[in-house]
Homo-oligomer: A and B are copies of this chain.
Amino acid sequence: MLEYIILGFLMECSMSGYDIKQSMSHSTANFFDASFGSIYPALKRLEEKGLIISKEAVESGKYKKYYEILEQGKKEFFSWLEVPVDFSSLKQEYLVKQFFYIHLPEEKVKAHLEHFIESVKDHLNKLIELEKLIKEHADVYKYSTLRYGMDFMSFAAGWYENLLKEISNKNGG
């Protein structure tokens, strides 16, 4: 996922590895963060694949290596962004894509969000099924983690339904 996030950042402007790390700290750190030890090798790989290109520069005495996204890189980025995501509490890829939705036409964003909401509801239904099975033999705390899961799914479904409404109202009626 890191490589796509880097491509996403470079979609907006050319940046150095250091800049990307800074940007992450001020924007995606809440749901996705990476260390220099993964960012620099990722940039190297992306350049080897011909998705980005580097330009070395010296700015106020400091050596900096700026990366620019190439056409092939943009293509790669879109083919990733375009695919709707399912809910997953482990990898929060849905938030990562949401972060870059400005690059997707509004109709596609709406379709993505609708798909995602359905996926959250599916997840909720699975937890409801699970509850029936374990309700009796789970202790208070084990049961509480399940309740948390269900309450969180309800929260998320509601939150994204609201986001969908906001987007629709913005241009619609």
Contacts and interface: CB of A to CB of B under 8 A. Distances in A.
Contact of A89 (B92, B142, B163, B167): B92
B139 A102 contact: yes
A36 interface: no
Main DSSP-derived SS at the A contact region: helix
B146 A30 contact: yes
A111 interface: no
A95 to B, nearest CB: 5
Contacts of A102: 139-142
A90 interface: yes
Nearest to A109: B141
Contact of A141 (B30, B89, B101): B101
